[in-house]
Amino acid sequence: MDKNTSNRGQWASNIGFILAAAGSAVGLGNIWKFPYLAGANGGGAFVVIYLVMIVIIGFVIMLGEMAIGRNTHLSSVGAYKKLSEKWAFVGFIGVVVGFCILAFYSVIGGWVLNYIGKYLIGGISGAEAGNYFSGFIASTTQPIVWHLVFMVLCCVIVLKGIAGGIEKASKFMMPALFILLVIIAIRSVTLDGAMEGIKFFLKPDFSKVTIGTVMAALGQAFFSLSLGMGAIITYGSYLGKTENLEKNAIIIPAIDTAVALLAGFAVLPAVFAFGFEPGAGPSLMFITLPSVFDSMPFGQFFGILFFILVLFAALTSAISLLEVVVAFVIDTFKIERKKTTIIISTILFFIGIPCSLANGPVMKDVLIFGYNFFDFMSFLAENLLMPLGGLLMCIFIGYVWGVDNISDEISCNGKYRFRSKPFFVIMIKYIAPVLIFIIWLNAIGVLPYIFKIFGITL
């Protein structure tokens, strides 16, 4: 252990790192968003494009972030700063993104906690599911109380540090999550009438693909792999100098993708089997699924299992977001971890309050650029800042830090053969930045105008 790592903490084992990083990646993005995005974007066609994005963009950016973190043994801001003073702002974008995402992520985590409670005391009737959900999220105090509980859980894990907190929690929650998901996926695909859903999920219908589908797939790849904001830089900074980064950058996206696909099998066949619509959007998990559970034998039991699994997924992701901010403060101001974690969690709790209230009468008319506070935070983080962070990172690695330096880090100065180097170099210097830039232009609403100039109609 060198001087830098000794007082910052380190993973106890590489498998611990893999589970923690996979825990960051596997989250609401996989279990809540992926099935509804597939449901709303033509099923199999979306899945295929998503897989391509994971391979060509996900792998490369994940490897890049891991290498930056491990090379510097610093969290995002410090890492960029150490490699090139002027680029520290990219790390800072990450800290801002962490704040924005965690504020609304924790509110959703609170909804999940409430659903677990609700299922434990009897469940939600199918006929009532829609009203129940809209009534609950619009109420003033209840969702805030659950958001507080979720934030406290994150805080307790993160203040225990890297090996003793995050790694330990991930080592328990990740395997448990996987087992629960397999049980539910098996239940779902063996229901009468599940075949329709399986077909929908697997059979690509490319006539449904638009540029919007590609955008959605790339955005989802970023979000699902926790890329573009320094989460993997931060986790990578606690890695020892001898681990094989290239291998890790294959395993983690593979786990993330496997869980997303399994979640698709857990959700979509059941939705079809009971005659519901797959394209319900965000409410798929909170309204459609409770109706599905209500129609199913032992639905309450499966409801409990399902929402516990979602809670584990959400928690392991939320702690990575919190850790980005906490590590930044620890590295920069040298404040002790416990104190830092409690202060940051408290601030985050308060930022989450307007996110929660934005769904109800108190703040639903407070709009920022036409978005309510909840949607604004998500738009700002996911659509604007994360792709920007990813884009700047590609440019930084490709043209500032340089591909030779990063290759040395990835190969541990020649200890491992960096097999995918030619692919990595082409991707990080040319393909990924161009693709991300296009997506970004689309996200900020400029792309349609550019298309118009070239006479392309969508």
Name the residues that contact ligand TRP, by CB under 6 A. Answer: 24-25, 27-30, 101, 223-224, 226, 229, 231, 317, 320-321
User: Smallest distance from the beta carbon of 75 to ligand TRP, in angstroms?
Assistant: 13
Alpha-carbon dihedral of residues 193, 194, 200, 202, nearest 10 degrees? -140
Show the beta-strand stretches assigned E in 37-145.
none
Cα–Cα distance between 397 and 361 in angstroms, integer?
A: 46
| Residue whose CB is less far from ligand TRP, 261 or 273 | 261
On whether the CB atoms of residues 216 and 387 are closer than 8 A, the answer is no
User: Smallest distance from the beta carbon of 381 to ligand TRP, in angstroms?
Assistant: 8
User: Smallest distance from the beta carbon of 197 to ligand TRP, in angstroms?
Assistant: 22
Alpha-carbon dihedral of residues 27, 30, 36, 40, nearest 10 degrees? 130
| Residue whose CB is less far from ligand TRP, 58 or 123 | 58
Residue carrying the six token digits 């695909």: 189
User: Smallest distance from the beta carbon of 42 to ligand TRP, in angstroms?
Assistant: 21
| Residue whose CB is less far from ligand TRP, 31 or 185 | 31
| Residue whose CB is less far from ligand TRP, 27 or 264 | 27
Nearest to 14 by CA among 290, 241, 173: 241
User: Smallest distance from the beta carbon of 201 to ligand TRP, in angstroms?
Assistant: 19
User: Smallest distance from the beta carbon of 259 to ligand TRP, in angstroms?
Assistant: 9
User: Smallest distance from the beta carbon of 29 to ligand TRP, in angstroms?
Assistant: 2
Helix runs in 126-236, H state only: 129-138, 142-159, 168-189, 194-202, 211-224, 231-236
| Residue whose CB is less far from ligand TRP, 234 or 359 | 234
Cα–Cα distance between 416 and 223 in angstroms, integer?
A: 29
| Residue whose CB is less far from ligand TRP, 194 or 443 | 443
Helix runs in 204-298, H state only: 211-224, 231-236, 245-273, 283, 289-295
| Residue whose CB is less far from ligand TRP, 286 or 418 | 286
Alpha-carbon dihedral of residues 105, 110, 112, 117, nearest 10 degrees? 170
User: Smallest distance from the beta carbon of 28 to ligand TRP, in angstroms?
Assistant: 4
Sequential DSSP letters for 144-164: HHHHHHHHHHHHHHHHT-III
261: DSSP letter? H
| Residue whose CB is less far from ligand TRP, 30 or 340 | 30
